[in-house]
Amino acid sequence: MKKPFDLSARLKALRAASGLTQEQVAERAGIGYKFYQKLEYGNSTTVRIVTAEKICNAYGIELWEFFCDAIPRIKK
């Protein structure tokens, strides 16, 4: 059985692959640092599609890649 999507784990994995700090991701995405931090720490478990798109743009990936099991190639 497939596990449910873990937003926190996904954000941590993407950030680790990118080599960016939380502050850098938030700045690139145009969202608040504290908000991004809450998402990554699992203190907030939902995100609007528009916010997910902003985070994807910060990593240079497509929205569909965000939800795939494999870590996509991050565009730096």
pLDDT exceeds cutoff 70 at 76 = no
- Residue 68 identity (one-letter amino acid): C
**Percent of the chain topping pLDDT 90:** 75
Give all domains of the chain, ordered by start, each with its CATH number: 7-66 (1.10.260.40)
pLDDT exceeds cutoff 90 at 69 = no
The residue count of the chain comes to 76
Please tell me the predicted confidence (pLDDT) of residue 75.
72
> pTM value?
0.87
Which residue, among 72, 53, 59, 27, has the nearest Cα to 36 in the 3D structure? 27
Please, what sign has the CA dihedral across residues 51, 57, 58, 59?
positive
pLDDT exceeds cutoff 80 at 26 = yes
Alpha helices in the chain (DSSP H): 7-18, 22-29, 33-41, 49-59, 63-66
Task: Note the pLDDT tens digit of each residue in 29-51.
Answer: 999 999 999 999 999 878 999 99
